[in-house]
Amino acid sequence: MRPTASPEWVQRLDRLHLLTPLRVVAVVVVAILLTVVIRRLVSKALRQVFERAVPGDRPRAEARYSALSSSLRAAVVGVVWAIAVITIVSEIGINIGAFVAGATVIGGAVAFGSQTLIRDVIAGFFVLADDQYGVGDEVDLGHATGTVERVTLRTAMVRDGEGRVWYVPHGNVLRVANLSKASVALLDVDLARDTPVDVALAGASRLVADLAADDQAGAMLRSLPVVVGIVAVTDERITVRASASTRIGKRDDVTRCWRAITLRHFETGAIARPTPFASPLPTPSQPPTSGSSAAGGA
């Protein structure tokens, strides 16, 4: 079966040595069109996903959208232009077999050496997509605990309570505890061991009532706190616990208000503060006897 002859206009362009340049231009134009289309599709798809975000979290959703859309568009567009470059080189007449073989070897070596980096980037992508934590959150990443100051696609920068800055790769994080998303504050108060149970629970109830009536703490509570009961007993004190449902990110603030109210109750004597554990007094040394003094003088 004889091959189909090319159209006359194609043969004419080939004789004028314009066929190859036109093919290269066509590849470039197609790559540009694909780049524009892919950028818009990725932006539209991610925008629809983040449109479901809670209105109060809109700034945070916008930050996640910007980070994910830029990284995803760069990856897809990079693949498109890599294919375009290979096609152009082939159209020019350069044998790309050697380049492909060399690129395969180099790519395998780079991939083997950078597998940890790739793991961190992929894990960071899902951290941003799932909104596991963001800037300003108080987190426990296992390796470090503190406030998140910056999140990139590869690492999270966390500052702990002592001011130290930790750079934690996302791929090394096996568990995440986002303390800023906790909405329940467990409030403990230690009382004297000899305090009757009814008196201890009544004192905790007064503390709870004062916490709910406090202007600063009341604005951060979602419902009235409740007294859970006695949760610990030691030789010199008992621990009574209350539970308060707080607004997101306000757990520590409510805890601080609870401590201030507790101290005021201790100062006024409304509740009995625990006494420190009394250690046994040291036995005074025996005075030297007259016989030993005489012996020493001799």
Could you report the per-residue pLDDT of 76-99, keeping only the tens digit for each?
A: 888 888 888 888 887 777 777 766
Residues 117-166 have pLDDT tens digits of 888 888 888 887 777 888 888 888 888 888 888 888 888 899 987 889 99
Looking at residue 295, its pLDDT comes to: 42
- Output the CA torsion 133→134→138→139 (10° steps): 30
Find all residues with CB under 8 Å of 238, minimum gap 6, and list them: 190, 191, 192, 193, 195, 200, 230, 232
> What is the reported pTM?
0.53
* Higher pLDDT, residue 11 or 143: 143
